A and B are shown apart, each in its own frame.
Chain A
């Protein structure tokens, strides 16, 4: 396992992402609300570029106590990233596929040294 330089932390804006290629590995690094997350860029479905699509809040449905639906809403506490090939949707915080959380993208450790961000791969 080696530390691979990603970026200066000060130049990595919130909401940005970078794709790092290390031999056969591709790693997507996101910065979301000040924290870094790094996952394999190979979608568990058909191998698409899992980290290169939209990032969007998760969708939930509001059910009232009487079990009637009050409609869909974006869950502001969540954040997903979406494989652009077919829409496989992953939890930003865990790398889990949100429709089946047993499926998880490989997660990589991020190390910050001063203003420098490294991924451990």
Chain B
């Protein structure tokens, strides 16, 4: 197979081999003795669109199922789920995109995505990974709320019944909610909330109209809180929206889009006092990096001091509520080390920051990105890589050394 670079060289490769591609990650893990550290990745992905043939039969409504299955027939036009614009593979520069289909897996073994997942998790020394879909991050753009529910429901059944069990429970998930259908969201929480491997529920934030404070969602939040699960907001880009159509480069739409959707929804969450309404609900903001957080803390605190009458539910500053919430680390902007250190201080990273790889996406982070930071304590390193996630998701240590480290840094909880 040739990688395409018409105006440069061609790189001939036999096939993609994730273990080989990540050999340097495995070396980093050995050098840092990561085997002794519980590492929990709170955001990784697979390409569920490659498995719609297995997923769609789990749809409940027979009419919608027939529409979805039929639309995938050869020669069909249109997509089952919304898609976005973009060049994640950077014109083939990030080779695992164009080569993905060439990677060999054992047809008689576990599901392909499980086998691929174990390869990169083992290379990075990741013990557990929260598996999210990729294409369905755009599910909020589906024009039919009924189809949004059906696709979320079908994916939830497939991933909890077929994928997670085959991973030896090293995958867990926060299930995608059909947020455009509040009743459907509540039903999802009630039906799947107690299933093994379900650590919480995820709201995709790429949506044109979404008010996280809408009364329609309160029962869903209460149901998640009642079950001791996590509510996550997963950001994303939406180049086609009117907001970003003036961006002529992917870099602009991507850098702004991920930040923007978290800024938007986090603002509504905080200003409407959701932290007061659901004080025991762990809320996690995913995949917008970290630099947006100090900005929003300062911006909201500044305006809150002038306009507290618009936020009567709040009993403390917006930044205090933001410090109560959790943030995934990736993609961590390691550009200005002083600014990053300040960010860590402002968000109480030692207890509120959770490692995320985002693998296999183009801007993934290795565990060493957190581990090697010069300004964090040993306790913070252990907490961020897995200790805090262990407490949130109740994931057991996989060996005695990990258990000892969890105990040493005050994180060990028993299920």
Contact = CB atoms under 8 A, between A and B. Distances in A.
> Is B a genuine binding partner of A?
yes
Interface of A: 15, 42, 46-49, 53-57, 74, 76, 79-80, 82, 84-87, 89
Given A46-B368, A54-B3, A82-B93, A87 B362 contact: yes
Interface in B315-367: 362-366
B11 interface: yes
A87 B93 contact: yes
Interface string B1-34: 0010101111100000000010111011000000
A15 B10 CA distance: 8
25 contacts: A15-B9, A42-B24, A46-B365, A46-B368, A47-B25, A47-B27, A49-B24, A53-B93, A54-B95, A55-B8, A55-B9, A56-B5, A56-B7, A56-B91, A74-B8, A79-B8, A82-B93, A84-B21, A84-B94, A84-B95, A85-B94, A86-B94, A86-B363, A86-B364, A87-B94
B373 interface: no
B366 A46 contact: yes
Interface in B99-149: none
Categorize the interface residue count of chain B. 20 to 34
Nearest to A79: B8
Given A15-B9, A76-B7, A86-B364, A54 B24 contact: no
B interface, by DSSP: helix, strand, loop or mixed?
loop
A65 B364 CA distance: 40
Contact of B7 (A42, A48, A57): A57
A82 B11 CA distance: 11
Nearest to A47: B24
Contacts of A54: 3, 5, 8-9, 11, 92-93, 95
What 6 A-B pairs are tightest by C-beta distance, nearest first? A56-B8, A74-B7, A55-B9, A84-B95, A56-B5, A87-B93
A46 to B, nearest CB: 5
B138 to A, nearest CB: 23
Given A53-B11, A84-B96, A86-B94, 17 more contacts: A15-B10, A46-B368, A47-B27, A47-B366, A49-B21, A49-B24, A53-B95, A56-B7, A56-B92, A56-B93, A74-B7, A74-B8, A79-B8, A84-B21, A85-B21, A85-B94, A86-B363
A74 B9 CA distance: 13
B90 interface: yes
B369 interface: yes
A47 B365 CA distance: 11
